Chain A
Amino acid sequence: MLTRAAWLGRLAPALLGLLVIAGWEALVRFNDIPSYVLPGPLAVAETLWREGSSLLAALLVTLRVTLAALLVATLTGVLLAALMAQSAWIERSLMPYAVFLQVTPIVAIAPLIIIYVEQPFLALLACAWIVAFFPLVANTAAGLRSADRGLQDLFRLYGAGRLQRLRLLLWPSALPHFLAGLRISGGLALIGAVVAEFVAGTGGSETGIAFRILEAGYRLQVPKMFAGLVLLALTGIGIYAALAWFSRLLLRRWHESALPPRS
Protein backbone atom coordinates (compact mmCIF):
# COMPACT_ATOMS: atom_id res chain seq x y z
CA MET A 1 0.00 0.00 0.00
CA LEU A 2 1.22 3.44 -0.88
CA THR A 3 0.74 6.22 1.60
CA ARG A 4 -0.93 9.47 0.67
CA ALA A 5 2.42 11.22 0.47
CA ALA A 6 3.77 8.52 -1.83
CA TRP A 7 0.75 8.83 -4.12
CA LEU A 8 1.20 12.56 -4.24
CA GLY A 9 4.90 12.07 -5.02
CA ARG A 10 3.96 9.97 -8.03
CA LEU A 11 1.07 12.09 -9.20
CA ALA A 12 2.76 15.47 -8.86
CA PRO A 13 5.17 15.15 -11.82
CA ALA A 14 2.43 13.76 -14.09
CA LEU A 15 0.11 16.55 -13.06
CA LEU A 16 2.76 19.16 -13.76
CA GLY A 17 3.39 17.66 -17.19
CA LEU A 18 -0.32 17.72 -18.03
CA LEU A 19 -0.58 21.33 -16.90
CA VAL A 20 2.35 22.41 -19.06
CA ILE A 21 0.97 20.58 -22.09
CA ALA A 22 -2.49 22.06 -21.59
CA GLY A 23 -1.00 25.54 -21.18
CA TRP A 24 1.03 25.09 -24.32
CA GLU A 25 -2.01 23.99 -26.32
CA ALA A 26 -4.04 26.92 -24.96
CA LEU A 27 -1.23 29.37 -25.80
CA VAL A 28 -1.10 28.13 -29.39
CA ARG A 29 -4.89 28.19 -29.84
CA PHE A 30 -5.70 31.54 -28.26
CA ASN A 31 -2.91 33.34 -30.12
CA ASP A 32 -3.51 31.54 -33.42
CA ILE A 33 0.16 30.68 -33.71
CA PRO A 34 0.73 28.92 -37.04
CA SER A 35 2.10 25.39 -36.72
CA TYR A 36 5.29 26.22 -38.66
CA VAL A 37 6.18 28.62 -35.85
CA LEU A 38 5.05 26.63 -32.86
CA PRO A 39 2.84 23.57 -33.21
CA GLY A 40 0.59 22.68 -30.33
CA PRO A 41 0.93 19.33 -28.59
CA LEU A 42 -2.13 17.99 -30.39
CA ALA A 43 -0.60 18.78 -33.78
CA VAL A 44 2.63 17.09 -32.69
CA ALA A 45 0.72 14.04 -31.53
CA GLU A 46 -1.17 13.92 -34.78
CA THR A 47 2.08 14.05 -36.79
CA LEU A 48 3.52 11.40 -34.55
CA TRP A 49 0.54 9.20 -35.34
CA ARG A 50 0.68 9.85 -39.08
CA GLU A 51 4.41 9.57 -39.57
CA GLY A 52 5.02 7.24 -36.69
CA SER A 53 6.13 4.19 -38.64
CA SER A 54 8.64 6.06 -40.81
CA LEU A 55 9.98 7.99 -37.83
CA LEU A 56 10.28 4.80 -35.79
CA ALA A 57 12.25 3.17 -38.60
CA ALA A 58 14.61 6.13 -38.54
CA LEU A 59 14.80 5.95 -34.77
CA LEU A 60 15.81 2.32 -35.05
CA VAL A 61 18.77 3.29 -37.22
CA THR A 62 19.94 5.83 -34.62
CA LEU A 63 19.32 3.39 -31.82
CA ARG A 64 21.47 0.79 -33.56
CA VAL A 65 24.37 3.22 -33.74
CA THR A 66 23.81 4.25 -30.11
CA LEU A 67 23.75 0.75 -28.71
CA ALA A 68 26.67 -0.44 -30.82
CA ALA A 69 28.70 2.59 -29.68
CA LEU A 70 27.75 1.96 -26.05
CA LEU A 71 28.80 -1.66 -26.36
CA VAL A 72 32.14 -0.80 -27.95
CA ALA A 73 32.69 1.99 -25.41
CA THR A 74 31.99 -0.43 -22.56
CA LEU A 75 34.42 -3.02 -23.89
CA THR A 76 37.20 -0.57 -24.69
CA GLY A 77 36.55 1.49 -21.56
CA VAL A 78 36.74 -1.47 -19.20
CA LEU A 79 39.74 -2.90 -21.00
CA LEU A 80 41.61 0.37 -20.83
CA ALA A 81 40.69 0.89 -17.17
CA ALA A 82 41.90 -2.63 -16.34
CA LEU A 83 45.14 -1.85 -18.14
CA MET A 84 45.50 1.36 -16.14
CA ALA A 85 44.92 -0.54 -12.91
CA GLN A 86 48.01 -2.63 -13.62
CA SER A 87 50.43 0.20 -13.03
CA ALA A 88 50.48 3.89 -12.25
CA TRP A 89 52.80 4.33 -15.23
CA ILE A 90 50.31 2.99 -17.74
CA GLU A 91 47.58 5.11 -16.18
CA ARG A 92 49.69 8.25 -16.31
CA SER A 93 50.57 7.70 -19.96
CA LEU A 94 47.05 6.89 -21.13
CA MET A 95 44.85 9.22 -19.09
CA PRO A 96 45.84 12.47 -20.85
CA TYR A 97 44.72 11.07 -24.19
CA ALA A 98 41.43 9.87 -22.77
CA VAL A 99 40.91 13.38 -21.38
CA PHE A 100 41.93 14.83 -24.75
CA LEU A 101 39.17 12.82 -26.45
CA GLN A 102 36.72 13.94 -23.80
CA VAL A 103 37.35 17.68 -23.90
CA THR A 104 37.54 18.05 -27.67
CA PRO A 105 33.98 18.91 -28.79
CA ILE A 106 32.51 16.11 -30.84
CA VAL A 107 31.05 18.56 -33.39
CA ALA A 108 34.62 19.61 -34.15
CA ILE A 109 35.96 16.09 -34.67
CA ALA A 110 32.92 14.59 -36.38
CA PRO A 111 33.54 16.13 -39.84
CA LEU A 112 37.06 14.69 -39.86
CA ILE A 113 35.88 11.26 -38.82
CA ILE A 114 33.22 11.32 -41.48
CA ILE A 115 35.85 12.13 -44.10
CA TYR A 116 38.28 9.45 -42.99
CA VAL A 117 35.89 6.62 -42.16
CA GLU A 118 34.18 5.73 -45.40
CA GLN A 119 31.56 3.33 -44.09
CA PRO A 120 28.77 5.60 -42.73
CA PHE A 121 27.67 3.24 -39.95
CA LEU A 122 31.24 2.99 -38.68
CA ALA A 123 31.73 6.76 -38.91
CA LEU A 124 28.63 7.42 -36.81
CA LEU A 125 29.65 4.70 -34.40
CA ALA A 126 33.10 6.23 -33.98
CA CYS A 127 31.61 9.63 -33.13
CA ALA A 128 29.18 8.20 -30.58
CA TRP A 129 31.97 6.06 -29.15
CA ILE A 130 34.20 9.07 -28.52
CA VAL A 131 31.48 10.76 -26.49
CA ALA A 132 30.44 7.69 -24.54
CA PHE A 133 33.90 6.37 -23.85
CA PHE A 134 35.29 8.71 -21.20
CA PRO A 135 32.84 8.31 -18.29
CA LEU A 136 33.29 4.56 -18.59
CA VAL A 137 37.09 4.68 -18.45
CA ALA A 138 37.28 7.34 -15.78
CA ASN A 139 34.69 5.76 -13.49
CA THR A 140 35.90 2.21 -13.92
CA ALA A 141 39.51 3.26 -13.34
CA ALA A 142 38.51 5.13 -10.17
CA GLY A 143 36.48 2.10 -9.09
CA LEU A 144 39.38 -0.28 -9.61
CA ARG A 145 41.47 1.93 -7.36
CA SER A 146 38.86 2.13 -4.62
CA ALA A 147 39.11 -1.42 -3.29
CA ASP A 148 39.12 -1.60 0.51
CA ARG A 149 42.63 -1.51 2.00
CA GLY A 150 41.87 -4.24 4.49
CA LEU A 151 40.68 -6.55 1.72
CA GLN A 152 43.79 -5.74 -0.29
CA ASP A 153 45.85 -6.87 2.72
CA LEU A 154 43.79 -10.03 2.94
CA PHE A 155 44.45 -10.89 -0.70
CA ARG A 156 48.14 -10.23 -0.21
CA LEU A 157 48.23 -12.42 2.91
CA TYR A 158 46.83 -15.35 0.96
CA GLY A 159 49.18 -14.78 -1.96
CA ALA A 160 46.48 -13.98 -4.53
CA GLY A 161 47.75 -13.62 -8.10
CA ARG A 162 47.23 -10.59 -10.29
CA LEU A 163 44.25 -12.07 -12.09
CA GLN A 164 42.60 -13.33 -8.91
CA ARG A 165 42.99 -9.90 -7.39
CA LEU A 166 41.45 -8.31 -10.46
CA ARG A 167 38.56 -10.74 -10.72
CA LEU A 168 37.70 -11.33 -7.08
CA LEU A 169 38.55 -7.97 -5.51
CA LEU A 170 39.12 -5.06 -7.88
CA TRP A 171 36.31 -5.80 -10.29
CA PRO A 172 33.53 -6.22 -7.69
CA SER A 173 34.76 -3.06 -5.95
CA ALA A 174 34.67 -1.21 -9.26
CA LEU A 175 31.23 -2.48 -10.30
CA PRO A 176 29.15 0.31 -8.70
CA HIS A 177 31.45 2.94 -10.22
CA PHE A 178 31.37 1.23 -13.60
CA LEU A 179 27.58 1.15 -13.54
CA ALA A 180 27.42 4.83 -12.66
CA GLY A 181 29.63 5.48 -15.69
CA LEU A 182 27.42 3.28 -17.85
CA ARG A 183 24.30 5.24 -16.90
CA ILE A 184 25.99 8.47 -17.95
CA SER A 185 27.43 6.99 -21.12
CA GLY A 186 24.09 5.58 -22.25
CA GLY A 187 22.69 9.08 -22.64
CA LEU A 188 25.95 10.39 -24.08
CA ALA A 189 26.07 7.68 -26.75
CA LEU A 190 22.67 8.82 -27.98
CA ILE A 191 23.82 12.44 -28.04
CA GLY A 192 26.96 11.40 -29.92
CA ALA A 193 24.95 9.49 -32.52
CA VAL A 194 22.61 12.45 -33.02
CA VAL A 195 25.44 14.96 -33.39
CA ALA A 196 27.20 12.68 -35.85
CA GLU A 197 24.07 12.37 -37.96
CA PHE A 198 23.68 16.14 -38.03
CA VAL A 199 27.23 16.50 -39.27
CA ALA A 200 27.16 13.56 -41.66
CA GLY A 201 24.12 14.73 -43.56
CA THR A 202 22.52 12.07 -45.76
CA GLY A 203 25.28 9.55 -45.29
CA GLY A 204 24.18 6.06 -46.24
CA SER A 205 21.02 4.60 -47.62
CA GLU A 206 19.36 4.49 -44.22
CA THR A 207 18.81 7.73 -42.40
CA GLY A 208 18.49 8.13 -38.67
CA ILE A 209 16.06 10.18 -36.64
CA ALA A 210 18.41 13.13 -36.21
CA PHE A 211 18.77 13.50 -39.94
CA ARG A 212 14.99 13.33 -40.29
CA ILE A 213 14.66 16.22 -37.85
CA LEU A 214 17.20 18.20 -39.82
CA GLU A 215 15.42 17.40 -43.09
CA ALA A 216 12.05 18.41 -41.62
CA GLY A 217 13.68 21.67 -40.56
CA TYR A 218 14.76 22.45 -44.14
CA ARG A 219 11.18 21.88 -45.25
CA LEU A 220 9.71 23.92 -42.40
CA GLN A 221 7.78 20.85 -41.17
CA VAL A 222 8.02 22.06 -37.61
CA PRO A 223 5.49 19.58 -36.12
CA LYS A 224 7.56 16.76 -37.53
CA MET A 225 10.66 18.22 -35.91
CA PHE A 226 8.85 18.18 -32.59
CA ALA A 227 7.64 14.66 -33.20
CA GLY A 228 11.21 13.50 -33.82
CA LEU A 229 12.35 15.34 -30.74
CA VAL A 230 9.72 13.66 -28.60
CA LEU A 231 10.83 10.25 -29.86
CA LEU A 232 14.48 11.08 -29.15
CA ALA A 233 13.71 12.28 -25.64
CA LEU A 234 11.65 9.19 -24.90
CA THR A 235 14.49 7.02 -26.21
CA GLY A 236 16.99 8.78 -23.96
CA ILE A 237 14.74 8.28 -20.95
CA GLY A 238 14.23 4.65 -21.94
CA ILE A 239 17.96 4.02 -22.18
CA TYR A 240 18.55 5.62 -18.81
CA ALA A 241 15.72 3.69 -17.17
CA ALA A 242 16.95 0.40 -18.62
CA LEU A 243 20.50 1.00 -17.39
CA ALA A 244 19.29 2.15 -13.98
CA TRP A 245 17.23 -1.04 -13.71
CA PHE A 246 20.20 -3.16 -14.78
CA SER A 247 22.40 -1.42 -12.25
CA ARG A 248 19.94 -1.99 -9.41
CA LEU A 249 19.64 -5.63 -10.44
CA LEU A 250 23.38 -6.16 -10.11
CA LEU A 251 23.81 -4.21 -6.89
CA ARG A 252 20.62 -4.83 -4.97
CA ARG A 253 22.08 -7.62 -2.85
CA TRP A 254 24.94 -5.67 -1.39
CA HIS A 255 25.65 -2.12 -2.43
CA GLU A 256 24.55 0.81 -0.27
CA SER A 257 23.11 2.60 -3.31
CA ALA A 258 20.67 -0.21 -4.02
CA LEU A 259 19.82 -1.51 -0.55
CA PRO A 260 16.51 -0.55 1.01
CA PRO A 261 16.76 1.98 3.83
CA ARG A 262 17.20 0.55 7.31
CA SER A 263 13.97 0.16 9.14
Chain B
Amino acid sequence: MHRPLVRLENVAKTFPDGLEALAGIDMEVGRGDFVSLLGPSGCGKSTLLRLIAGLAQPSGGQVLWPDGPPAPGRIGYVFQDPTLMPWGDVFDNVYLPLRIAGQGRKAARPAVEAALALVGLADFAHAQPHALSGGMRMRVSLARALVTRPALLLLDEPFGALDEITRFRLNDDLLRLWGEGGWTVLFVTHSVFEAVFLSQRVLIMGPRPGRIHAAIEIELPQPRPPELRMGADYQRICAAASASLAQAMGSC
Protein backbone atom coordinates (compact mmCIF):
# COMPACT_ATOMS: atom_id res chain seq x y z
CA MET B 1 0.00 0.00 0.00
CA HIS B 2 1.20 3.48 -0.82
CA ARG B 3 1.45 5.59 2.31
CA PRO B 4 2.36 9.23 1.88
CA LEU B 5 4.47 11.07 4.43
CA VAL B 6 1.95 13.88 4.62
CA ARG B 7 -1.44 14.40 3.00
CA LEU B 8 -3.46 17.59 2.77
CA GLU B 9 -7.21 17.22 2.43
CA ASN B 10 -9.25 20.15 1.22
CA VAL B 11 -7.03 22.53 3.19
CA ALA B 12 -8.04 26.16 3.37
CA LYS B 13 -6.53 29.14 5.13
CA THR B 14 -8.40 32.36 5.70
CA PHE B 15 -6.59 34.93 7.80
CA PRO B 16 -8.40 36.78 10.60
CA ASP B 17 -8.48 39.90 8.43
CA GLY B 18 -10.65 37.97 5.94
CA LEU B 19 -7.95 37.35 3.35
CA GLU B 20 -8.43 33.97 1.70
CA ALA B 21 -4.89 32.73 1.14
CA LEU B 22 -5.56 29.08 0.32
CA ALA B 23 -8.65 27.12 -0.69
CA GLY B 24 -9.30 23.48 -1.49
CA ILE B 25 -5.72 22.26 -1.41
CA ASP B 26 -5.42 18.50 -1.93
CA MET B 27 -1.94 17.15 -2.17
CA GLU B 28 0.36 14.38 -1.03
CA VAL B 29 4.05 14.21 -0.46
CA GLY B 30 5.42 10.68 -0.46
CA ARG B 31 8.38 9.48 1.54
CA GLY B 32 11.55 10.31 -0.38
CA ASP B 33 9.82 12.58 -2.89
CA PHE B 34 11.17 15.82 -4.23
CA VAL B 35 8.18 18.08 -4.87
CA SER B 36 8.25 21.73 -5.92
CA LEU B 37 5.58 24.37 -5.45
CA LEU B 38 5.68 26.84 -8.29
CA GLY B 39 3.50 29.91 -8.34
CA PRO B 40 3.36 33.69 -8.55
CA SER B 41 4.10 35.92 -5.58
CA GLY B 42 1.31 36.06 -3.03
CA CYS B 43 -0.40 32.82 -4.07
CA GLY B 44 0.08 31.24 -0.65
CA LYS B 45 3.21 29.11 -1.01
CA SER B 46 4.75 30.22 2.27
CA THR B 47 1.40 29.87 4.00
CA LEU B 48 1.16 26.29 2.78
CA LEU B 49 4.60 25.44 4.13
CA ARG B 50 3.72 26.97 7.50
CA LEU B 51 0.61 24.79 7.68
CA ILE B 52 2.63 21.67 6.96
CA ALA B 53 5.27 22.65 9.53
CA GLY B 54 2.54 23.09 12.12
CA LEU B 55 3.39 26.77 12.61
CA ALA B 56 -0.14 27.75 11.61
CA GLN B 57 -3.45 25.92 11.72
CA PRO B 58 -5.67 25.50 8.64
CA SER B 59 -9.04 27.20 8.85
CA GLY B 60 -10.57 24.32 6.90
CA GLY B 61 -9.62 20.74 5.96
CA GLN B 62 -6.75 18.90 7.54
CA VAL B 63 -3.06 18.11 7.37
CA LEU B 64 -2.63 14.37 7.96
CA TRP B 65 0.48 12.42 8.91
CA PRO B 66 -0.32 8.75 8.33
CA ASP B 67 2.58 7.62 10.51
CA GLY B 68 1.96 10.15 13.25
CA PRO B 69 3.05 13.77 13.43
CA PRO B 70 6.81 14.30 13.12
CA ALA B 71 8.84 14.79 16.29
CA PRO B 72 10.69 18.10 16.78
CA GLY B 73 13.77 18.19 14.58
CA ARG B 74 12.24 15.83 12.00
CA ILE B 75 11.21 18.83 9.92
CA GLY B 76 13.87 21.21 8.66
CA TYR B 77 12.60 24.55 7.45
CA VAL B 78 14.42 27.22 5.49
CA PHE B 79 12.29 30.33 5.78
CA GLN B 80 12.06 32.87 3.04
CA ASP B 81 14.27 35.19 5.14
CA PRO B 82 17.49 33.86 6.65
CA THR B 83 16.09 34.38 10.19
CA LEU B 84 19.41 34.15 12.02
CA MET B 85 20.11 35.13 15.61
CA PRO B 86 22.24 38.28 15.25
CA TRP B 87 23.83 37.73 18.66
CA GLY B 88 25.27 34.34 17.73
CA ASP B 89 27.96 33.53 15.21
CA VAL B 90 27.44 31.12 12.33
CA PHE B 91 28.29 28.12 14.50
CA ASP B 92 25.82 29.13 17.21
CA ASN B 93 23.08 29.54 14.62
CA VAL B 94 23.60 26.17 13.03
CA TYR B 95 24.02 24.51 16.42
CA LEU B 96 20.69 25.88 17.68
CA PRO B 97 18.39 22.96 16.69
CA LEU B 98 20.74 20.49 18.36
CA ARG B 99 21.07 22.73 21.38
CA ILE B 100 17.31 22.84 21.77
CA ALA B 101 17.31 19.04 21.51
CA GLY B 102 19.66 19.01 24.49
CA GLN B 103 22.91 18.13 22.74
CA GLY B 104 26.14 19.53 24.17
CA ARG B 105 28.30 21.88 22.13
CA LYS B 106 31.18 19.44 21.89
CA ALA B 107 29.01 16.51 20.88
CA ALA B 108 27.30 18.63 18.23
CA ARG B 109 30.49 19.97 16.67
CA PRO B 110 30.94 17.27 13.99
CA ALA B 111 27.32 17.57 12.83
CA VAL B 112 27.49 21.38 12.72
CA GLU B 113 30.78 21.35 10.84
CA ALA B 114 29.47 18.79 8.36
CA ALA B 115 26.38 20.92 7.70
CA LEU B 116 28.54 24.00 7.19
CA ALA B 117 30.83 22.15 4.82
CA LEU B 118 27.81 21.03 2.85
CA VAL B 119 26.81 24.62 2.12
CA GLY B 120 30.39 25.75 1.54
CA LEU B 121 30.77 27.79 4.72
CA ALA B 122 33.31 25.66 6.58
CA ASP B 123 35.62 28.66 6.95
CA PHE B 124 32.96 30.97 8.32
CA ALA B 125 31.96 29.17 11.52
CA HIS B 126 32.97 32.14 13.63
CA ALA B 127 31.66 34.97 11.50
CA GLN B 128 28.79 37.12 12.76
CA PRO B 129 25.67 37.15 10.56
CA HIS B 130 25.96 40.90 9.91
CA ALA B 131 29.35 40.28 8.35
CA LEU B 132 27.99 37.83 5.76
CA SER B 133 26.55 38.45 2.32
CA GLY B 134 22.84 37.86 1.78
CA GLY B 135 23.46 34.59 -0.04
CA MET B 136 25.81 33.37 2.68
CA ARG B 137 23.17 34.09 5.32
CA MET B 138 20.71 32.01 3.36
CA ARG B 139 23.23 29.18 3.22
CA VAL B 140 23.66 29.35 7.00
CA SER B 141 19.92 28.99 7.26
CA LEU B 142 20.11 25.95 4.98
CA ALA B 143 22.87 24.39 7.08
CA ARG B 144 20.74 24.92 10.18
CA ALA B 145 17.82 23.12 8.53
CA LEU B 146 20.06 20.20 7.53
CA VAL B 147 21.88 19.78 10.82
CA THR B 148 19.25 17.55 12.45
CA ARG B 149 19.09 15.34 9.32
CA PRO B 150 15.33 15.91 9.07
CA ALA B 151 12.96 13.52 7.35
CA LEU B 152 11.16 16.39 5.64
CA LEU B 153 12.91 19.47 4.34
CA LEU B 154 10.74 22.53 3.69
CA LEU B 155 12.58 25.07 1.55
CA ASP B 156 10.98 28.45 0.92
CA GLU B 157 12.80 29.99 -2.03
CA PRO B 158 16.16 29.23 -0.43
CA PHE B 159 18.17 30.28 -3.45
CA GLY B 160 16.10 33.27 -4.54
CA ALA B 161 18.74 35.78 -3.47
CA LEU B 162 21.68 33.97 -5.02
CA ASP B 163 23.53 34.53 -8.25
CA GLU B 164 22.95 31.93 -10.95
CA ILE B 165 26.33 30.23 -10.57
CA THR B 166 25.98 29.66 -6.82
CA ARG B 167 22.37 28.75 -7.35
CA PHE B 168 23.26 26.04 -9.86
CA ARG B 169 25.95 24.74 -7.57
CA LEU B 170 23.62 24.57 -4.60
CA ASN B 171 20.94 22.96 -6.78
CA ASP B 172 23.44 20.25 -7.73
CA ASP B 173 24.46 19.84 -4.09
CA LEU B 174 20.86 19.61 -3.01
CA LEU B 175 20.17 16.92 -5.61
CA ARG B 176 23.24 14.99 -4.59
CA LEU B 177 22.15 15.19 -0.96
CA TRP B 178 18.68 14.08 -1.83
CA GLY B 179 20.13 11.25 -3.90
CA GLU B 180 21.80 9.85 -0.79
CA GLY B 181 18.32 8.89 0.30
CA GLY B 182 16.32 9.43 3.44
CA TRP B 183 15.18 12.95 2.61
CA THR B 184 11.85 14.23 1.49
CA VAL B 185 11.92 17.72 0.06
CA LEU B 186 9.17 20.26 -0.51
CA PHE B 187 10.67 23.13 -2.41
CA VAL B 188 9.08 26.53 -3.09
CA THR B 189 10.34 28.58 -5.99
CA HIS B 190 9.45 31.25 -8.54
CA SER B 191 11.74 29.73 -11.10
CA VAL B 192 10.31 27.25 -13.61
CA PHE B 193 13.81 26.09 -14.56
CA GLU B 194 14.82 25.40 -10.99
CA ALA B 195 11.59 23.56 -10.24
CA VAL B 196 11.87 21.32 -13.29
CA PHE B 197 15.55 20.59 -12.79
CA LEU B 198 15.17 19.55 -9.16
CA SER B 199 11.81 17.87 -8.83
CA GLN B 200 10.07 14.63 -9.47
CA ARG B 201 6.81 16.51 -9.38
CA VAL B 202 5.97 20.20 -9.78
CA LEU B 203 2.75 21.58 -8.33
CA ILE B 204 1.65 24.72 -10.15
CA MET B 205 -0.27 27.14 -7.98
CA GLY B 206 -2.64 29.88 -9.07
CA PRO B 207 -3.40 33.02 -7.14
CA ARG B 208 -6.03 34.19 -4.69
CA PRO B 209 -7.23 32.12 -3.16
CA GLY B 210 -4.23 29.88 -3.77
CA ARG B 211 -5.04 26.50 -5.19
CA ILE B 212 -3.18 23.79 -7.02
CA HIS B 213 -3.77 24.34 -10.67
CA ALA B 214 -1.80 21.43 -12.09
CA ALA B 215 0.63 18.71 -11.09
CA ILE B 216 3.37 17.93 -13.59
CA GLU B 217 5.37 14.71 -13.28
CA ILE B 218 8.91 15.44 -14.41
CA GLU B 219 10.00 12.51 -16.55
CA LEU B 220 13.72 13.10 -16.44
CA PRO B 221 16.31 10.49 -15.49
CA GLN B 222 17.82 10.26 -12.00
CA PRO B 223 20.46 11.24 -11.06
CA ARG B 224 20.49 14.53 -12.92
CA PRO B 225 23.89 15.82 -14.01
CA PRO B 226 24.39 19.57 -14.54
CA GLU B 227 24.54 19.01 -18.33
CA LEU B 228 20.90 18.06 -18.22
CA ARG B 229 20.11 21.78 -18.28
CA MET B 230 21.26 21.87 -21.92
CA GLY B 231 19.18 18.90 -23.00
CA ALA B 232 16.14 19.12 -25.28
CA ASP B 233 13.92 17.09 -22.93
CA TYR B 234 14.61 19.46 -20.08
CA GLN B 235 13.79 22.51 -22.18
CA ARG B 236 10.61 20.94 -23.51
CA ILE B 237 9.35 20.23 -19.99
CA CYS B 238 10.27 23.74 -18.88
CA ALA B 239 8.24 25.15 -21.75
CA ALA B 240 5.25 23.00 -20.79
CA ALA B 241 5.55 24.07 -17.13
CA SER B 242 5.78 27.74 -18.16
CA ALA B 243 2.64 27.38 -20.23
CA SER B 244 0.84 25.78 -17.32
CA LEU B 245 1.99 28.55 -15.00
CA ALA B 246 0.80 31.22 -17.41
CA GLN B 247 -2.56 29.49 -17.56
CA ALA B 248 -2.71 29.34 -13.73
CA MET B 249 -2.03 33.04 -13.49
CA GLY B 250 -4.58 33.85 -16.13
CA SER B 251 -7.30 31.95 -14.30
CA CYS B 252 -7.62 34.48 -11.47
Q: Report which A residues bind B (CB closer than 8 A).
A: 148, 150-151, 153-160, 164, 168-169, 172, 175, 253-255, 259
Contacts and interface: CB of A to CB of B under 8 A. Distances in A.
Contacts of B55: 153, 156-157
22 contacts: A148-B83, A153-B77, A153-B79, A153-B83, A156-B55, A157-B55, A157-B75, A158-B96, A158-B97, A158-B148, A159-B72, A159-B100, A164-B100, A168-B96, A168-B99, A169-B85, A172-B85, A172-B87, A253-B87, A253-B128, A254-B128, A259-B130
B87 A157 contact: no
Contacts of A150: 79, 81, 83
Interface residues of B, number: 24
B83 A154 contact: yes
Given A164-B100, A254-B86, A255-B86, A157 B128 contact: no
Given A153-B79, A157-B53, 7 more contacts: A151-B85, A153-B55, A157-B77, A158-B73, A159-B72, A168-B96, A168-B99
Contacts of A160: 100
Nearest to A158: B100
Contacts, number: 53
A41 B188 CA distance: 73
Q: Is the interface of B mostly helix, strand, loop or mixed?
A: loop
Contacts of B1: none
A159 B72 CA distance: 5
Contacts of A164: 100
Contacts of A158: 72-73, 96-97, 100-101, 148
A169 B129 CA distance: 16
A165 to B, nearest CB: 9
Contact of B87 (A153, A154, A155, A254): A254
Contacts of A153: 50, 55, 77, 79, 83
Interface string B75-113: 101010101011100000000110111000000000000
Nearest to B82: A150
A255 B86 CA distance: 7
Contacts of B87: 172, 175, 253-255
Nearest to A169: B85
A38 to B, nearest CB: 52
Among the interface residues A151, A254, A255, which one has the most CB atoms of the partner chain B within 10 A? Answer: A254
A262 to B, nearest CB: 9
A58 B128 CA distance: 46
B100 A155 contact: yes
A151 B144 CA distance: 12
Nearest to B98: A158
Closest 9 CB pairs of A and B: A159-B72, A150-B83, A158-B100, A172-B87, A254-B86, A160-B100, A254-B87, A158-B97, A153-B55
A153 B85 CA distance: 13
Contact of A151 (B73, B83, B128, B148): B83
A174 B71 CA distance: 29
Contacts of B148: 158
A154 B148 CA distance: 13
B242 to A, nearest CB: 31
A8 to B, nearest CB: 31
